[in-house]
Structure 1
Amino acid sequence: MFDNPILERNFLALAANNPELSARIGNTSPLKELTFTKAKNGVLVPALKVKSRLTPLHSTFDPLKEGERLPDLYSGAGYLVIFGIGAGYHITPFLKNRRISNILIIEKNPALLRRVMENIDLRSLFMDPRVQLLVNEEPITIKENILTNYFPAIAGDLKTLTLRPLFDLAGRYYEEVLNAIRNVISKIADDYTVQVHFGKKWFINSLFNLPRAEKSALAIKPVRKVLITGAGPSLESQLASLRRMRKEAFLIASDTSLPSLLSSNILPDTVISIDCQQVSYHHFLQGMPPNIPLVLDLASPPLLTRLTNKIIFFASAHPFSQFVSANWRRMPYIDTSGGNVCHAAVSMAHFLGAEEINLFGVDFSYPQGKTYARSTYLYLFFRSQENRIDPLESLFFSFIMRNDKIIKEKKAGTVCYITQPMISYRQRLEIALADRGLQIFPPQAKGLPIEIKPVVKRRKRDIIGRIFSAGAPNCDWKSFLTSYLEGVKGLPKPAQPLGNYFRGLSDSQRTLWVTLYPAAAAIKNHYACRQISGVELLDQVREWTDSLISRYLA
């Protein structure tokens, strides 16, 4: 072992929770440029020598008192991200707050950490199970770590704290990490907002769709050329091209575009719907053609399953859907992260092995103030509402202007009205197309064009198409649901600090909690008028799940 007792104790503490990092630091030479001076109160302060100038990393008067002030500025529960470990004086005071669920320390320099471990006792940091130390990791790795471990409804707000001297001396590293964290927090915030609104609805719909999902035995074979219809105004002018190409391609219709296609006597090969809200039923008021498969998210409204006997369910990224697919009946996966049905249809075409995809009625804007193609559900609804004072055009324009922020752009002399969600939908679709290397051919549209990067055309033997179908269920749906409920009820009672609690769980137990996270976000929103702890929230969502499933099985 080591002649230095401080270093030996530090390594033993670090190895207890992170043996891999302990071994890596053990093979690292200490940073020669780091020296130690004594503060006025006698405490050792690390100081970094840069170009013959010595920069202390903490207060040279009373670093302990300096650190004790920080929790007052970062009060309450939360997930704390700290840039730079230094001597830990700015971190250890936070360990007293049991409402802090996680403390993620990001340190750039392993040699600096090794040198500090030789002189400063860091055991309280290393042995606290809430603390995670990442040393010299890439920003993308740190981003994925936060994406995996941070859930705002349970952990609380994410806060960052910088050890300013190290932050300034580290060049661009901490800036790049900080930007990566901002990006991931933006994504988490978007996801959380959706979960607040739909978390309970996803779970309830998925639950009630299980009996029908057990009976579904339909399959769609792989295809090479796919046509996808959105419901944008451009669809009207593109119907002739669509009709001409229809005979030699597989047509996937979004639920919103279905009425417009039927009014033009165009039958799709399949219809896809992803919305969990009852309003989706409006798209089928003109009927669902017989013998055409209806592709539904497991979290779609159960009402839609009554429209036809030809149902194929898919699993999206909703945690309970993924759990069902992994533990009961394997379902095809469709990416719904784009937030719109066109994105999901492209994902389905990719699953089927399409080498060419043509988009119709995909505008991502309101060209000339027009919302949808004729015959879609909004036309029928507004026609029932119009009068001499509020004609159809007025109702449509009011529908556009209800958005908080509207952007006006001109395209070839045509004014397009754009909302922020539309911008997000288009950007996500562009990223998905680029990542998958798909050949996309959007016909001339009135709306804003999709930026499509050129891709190398793949050889047919490089394109793997899969049969779009569910596997055989492991048991009947009631047995699966009973087993799931037993697992949820058998989860250990949550306790503070939650970081310790979750680390003490098995992988299967953590997975069960993850299935309840979206519903937890919705439940927390219900208690927005008062603070609710993570422990209380977990108890509430488990009680809600138990009551819901027990009543359903009774």
Structure 2
Amino acid sequence: MSECFEDNAQVIERRWPALHTRLMLEDSASVQAELSEGLGSTLSIGGIQLTSRHDRVLEARVQAASLPVDKAQLHVYGTGLGDLPTVLLERAGLERLYVHILNGALFALVLQLLDQRHWLDDPRVELLYAGDQTDIYTPFFALPSEMVLADDFNAKIRDRLVSEVHLNFNNRDFDPQSPTILQRLQDSLEVLLADDDVAKLFGTHAGREIYVIGTGPSLESHFEQLAAVRKQAQRPLFICVDTAYRPLREHGIKPDLVVSIDQRISFRHLPFEESDGIPLVYLPMSDPQVLKAWKGKRYGGYSASPIYASLRRQHARAELYVGGSVIHPAVDLAVKMGAERITLFGADFAFPMNKTHAGWGDGDLGPGVNLARHWVRDGHGERVRTQLNFRSYLCELERYIAGHPEVRFFNSSRAGAMIVGTQFNQEFVQ
């Protein structure tokens, strides 16, 4: 080990002995780093520059400027070359700076190359592995390079950071003043006022097990079992999302209730011909023509989105939780109906078996498999391809589950993403 590493390691061992032990086991030799030079220099890992190669300190000051100056505690995700922690510690009002390691081997390499004692030895600093935490903390700055270079252990927190950073961008299509949105809400108002409040469903199935059925590829392996369960006299309640409705009916499975929230859902997704006796729960962004054609009873509600603020003030309706995907309000509905046990089907948040959705062709419901550039861990601990927005939906579901410890959540498949907070339902998992 270099003399530089020994000096850095002594500080870490004194302040965080358990973390020091873990760092000593990191394989820094596995990090293929090169020197990248410009007006200054930095490290480049697989073509990704860890910092600016021209002026690292100026870059750190720009990053620091995005964080509020009146907060006593701040969080930095990624260690970089130590520039951002150093700059933030110049703030006299800062009482605690949490530095979260996103790549242990990379940090171990940096400790060998550069003296980091100027920030490691500051009593206001707490150093920890990001992956040891269950969620992210704010206010934070996440180093862009390490959002890409995060190792497997810290990947779950990386996913949540990405989701948070992209939040404003993802919400760009939901401007409350958008003429398109205002027109859709106006068009749906007649239906909403004629239908019951979704709150009438709350508490109607206290203590019952509920199956919440999504459209992930793993659903295809359960059609036969679900059809058999559906015929039982005493059975769980079946709640499905809109895009799962058609595949279920094609396999002889009639859901007890359907949930739909997306303005792009059409008759192609929700054919109405055999919808007698099937309640439909919806939000007002749904296509009013699709809603009017539905033969079963309809229940309207809102999400917490600002686009419903005006409607909410004028026409009271209960809210369902929405975190970007229709699976969220379907799960929330199950909880509010009184479920003590929920089993998820087709909640894959990934593309197992090299497919995007059950019962639909590649690209029918969004980008095709070949466009997937991201990954999550499946129930076997292996990487499975996914989309960036799917990872965000997964994060939001995991947060929801963590907030409802009174409900037992189960997953019916190991093929899709591992969902923190769920167990595997042994009746369905091989």
Equivalent residue number for residue 322 of structure 2: 336
Distance (Å, rounded) in 2 between the aligned partners of 1:274 and 1:285: 16
How far 1:235 moved relative to its partner? 1.2
Distance (Å, rounded) in 2 between the aligned partners of 1:264 and 1:448: 24
Distance (Å, rounded) in 1 between the aligned partners of 2:315 and 2:94: 53
What's the CA shift string for 1:477-515, capped at 9, x where partnerless? xxxxxxxxxxxxxxxxxxxxxxxxxxxxxxxxxxxxxxx
What's the CA shift string for 1:17-58, capped at 9, x where partnerless? xxxxxxxxxxxxxxxxxxxxxxxxxxxxxxxxxxxxxxxxxx
Task: Give the AA of the match of 1:425.
Answer: Y
Equivalent residue number for residue 319 of structure 1: 306
Equivalent residue number for residue 230 of structure 1: 214
Distance (Å, rounded) in 1 between the aligned partners of 2:322 and 2:260: 10
* Secondary structure in structure 1 of the residue aligned to 2:375: strand
Equivalent residue number for residue 422 of structure 1: 390
With over 3 angstroms needed to count, the CA separation of the structure-2 counterparts of 1:170 and 1:357, relative to structure 1, is closer
Conserved in 2, the CA contact under 8 Å of 1:368 and 1:416?
Answer: no
With over 3 angstroms needed to count, the CA separation of the structure-2 counterparts of 1:217 and 1:178, relative to structure 1, is closer
Equivalent residue number for residue 294 of structure 1: 280
How far 1:409 moved relative to its partner? 6.3
With over 3 angstroms needed to count, the CA separation of the structure-2 counterparts of 1:255 and 1:213, relative to structure 1, is same
Equivalent residue number for residue 373 of structure 1: 358
Distance (Å, rounded) in 2 between the aligned partners of 1:253 and 1:273: 9
* Secondary structure in structure 2 of the residue aligned to 1:172: strand
* Secondary structure in structure 1 of the residue aligned to 2:268: helix
* Secondary structure in structure 2 of the residue aligned to 1:451: coil
Conserved in 2, the CA contact under 8 Å of 1:315 and 1:321?
Answer: yes
Distance (Å, rounded) in 2 between the aligned partners of 1:244 and 1:265: 10
Asked whether 1:241 is paired with 2:220, we answer: no
Equivalent residue number for residue 26 of structure 1: none
Task: Give the AA of the match of 2:396.
Answer: R
Distance (Å, rounded) in 2 between the aligned partners of 1:245 and 1:203: 42
Task: Give the AA of the match of 1:358.
Answer: T
The number of equivalent residue pairs is 289
Task: Give the AA of the match of 1:180.
Answer: P
With over 3 angstroms needed to count, the CA separation of the structure-2 counterparts of 1:240 and 1:186, relative to structure 1, is closer
Q: Any residues of structure 2 matched to 1:6-21 within 5 Å, and which?
A: none
Task: Give the AA of the match of 1:452.
Answer: G
CA RMSD of aligned residues (A): 3.9
Distance (Å, rounded) in 2 between the aligned partners of 1:82 and 1:290: 55
Structure with the higher helix share, 1 or 2: 1
Distance (Å, rounded) in 1 between the aligned partners of 2:380 and 2:389: 23
Q: Any residues of structure 2 matched to 1:339-488 within 5 Å, and which?
A: 339-374=324-359, 376=360, 378=361, 399-403=368-372, 405-407=373-375, 416-437=384-405, 438-452=407-421
Task: In structure 2, list runs of 5 or more residues that go unmatched.
Answer: 1-60, 76-86, 99-123, 127-135, 143-159, 424-430
Of the candidates 184, 205, 208, which is equivalent to residue 187 of structure 2? 208
Distance (Å, rounded) in 2 between the aligned partners of 1:178 and 1:293: 40
Equivalent residue number for residue 257 of structure 1: 244
With over 3 angstroms needed to count, the CA separation of the structure-2 counterparts of 1:447 and 1:166, relative to structure 1, is closer
Distance (Å, rounded) in 1 between the aligned partners of 2:401 and 2:163: 19
How far 1:256 moved relative to its partner? 0.8
How far 1:107 moved relative to its partner? 6.2
Conserved in 2, the CA contact under 8 Å of 1:314 and 1:332?
Answer: yes
Distance (Å, rounded) in 2 between the aligned partners of 1:427 and 1:412: 19
Conserved in 2, the CA contact under 8 Å of 1:233 and 1:367?
Answer: yes
Conserved in 2, the CA contact under 8 Å of 1:367 and 1:414?
Answer: no
Conserved in 2, the CA contact under 8 Å of 1:299 and 1:321?
Answer: no
Task: Give the AA of the match of 1:243.
Answer: A
Q: Which has the higher contact order (CA 8 A, sep 6+)?
A: 1
Give the TM-score taking structure 2 as reference length. 0.57
Task: Give the AA of the match of 1:450.
Answer: I
Task: Give the AA of the match of 1:257.
Answer: A
What's the CA shift string for 1:180-223, capped at 9, x where partnerless? 24489976753322332242244332222111111113743621
Conserved in 2, the CA contact under 8 Å of 1:202 and 1:276?
Answer: no
What's the CA shift string for 1:283-331, capped at 9, x where partnerless? 1247451221111112222232232153211110122424422x22221
How far 1:410 moved relative to its partner? 7.4
Conserved in 2, the CA contact under 8 Å of 1:203 and 1:299?
Answer: no
Task: Give the AA of the match of 1:195.
Answer: N
How far 1:398 moved relative to its partner? 7.9
How far 1:446 moved relative to its partner? 2.2
Of the candidates 172, 195, 198, which is equivalent to residue 97 of structure 2? 172
With over 3 angstroms needed to count, the CA separation of the structure-2 counterparts of 1:192 and 1:288, relative to structure 1, is farther
* Secondary structure in structure 2 of the residue aligned to 1:450: coil
What's the CA shift string for 1:409-430, capped at 9, x where partnerless? 6765987322222222222211
How far 1:227 moved relative to its partner? 1.0
Q: Any residues of structure 2 matched to 1:135-214 within 5 Å, and which?
A: 165-167=90-92, 170-172=95-97, 179-182=138-141, 190-199=166-175, 200=178, 201-214=180-193
Task: In structure 1, list runs of 5 or more residues that go unmatched.
Answer: 1-72, 84-105, 109-137, 141-161, 383-395, 455-554
Distance (Å, rounded) in 2 between the aligned partners of 1:107 and 1:318: 28
Give the TM-score taking structure 1 as reference length. 0.45
Asked whether 1:220 is paired with 2:207, we answer: no
Equivalent residue number for residue 108 of structure 2: none
Conserved in 1, the CA contact under 8 Å of 2:211 and 2:345?
Answer: yes
Conserved in 1, the CA contact under 8 Å of 2:211 and 2:238?
Answer: yes
* Secondary structure in structure 1 of the residue aligned to 2:347: coil
With over 3 angstroms needed to count, the CA separation of the structure-2 counterparts of 1:319 and 1:254, relative to structure 1, is same
Distance (Å, rounded) in 1 between the aligned partners of 2:137 and 2:278: 49
Conserved in 1, the CA contact under 8 Å of 2:376 and 2:391?
Answer: no
Distance (Å, rounded) in 2 between the aligned partners of 1:406 and 1:350: 31
* Secondary structure in structure 1 of the residue aligned to 2:403: helix
How far 1:81 moved relative to its partner? 5.9
What's the CA shift string for 1:428-475, capped at 9, x where partnerless? 211111111121122234223322268xxxxxxxxxxxxxxxxxxxxx
Distance (Å, rounded) in 2 between the aligned partners of 1:179 and 1:336: 21
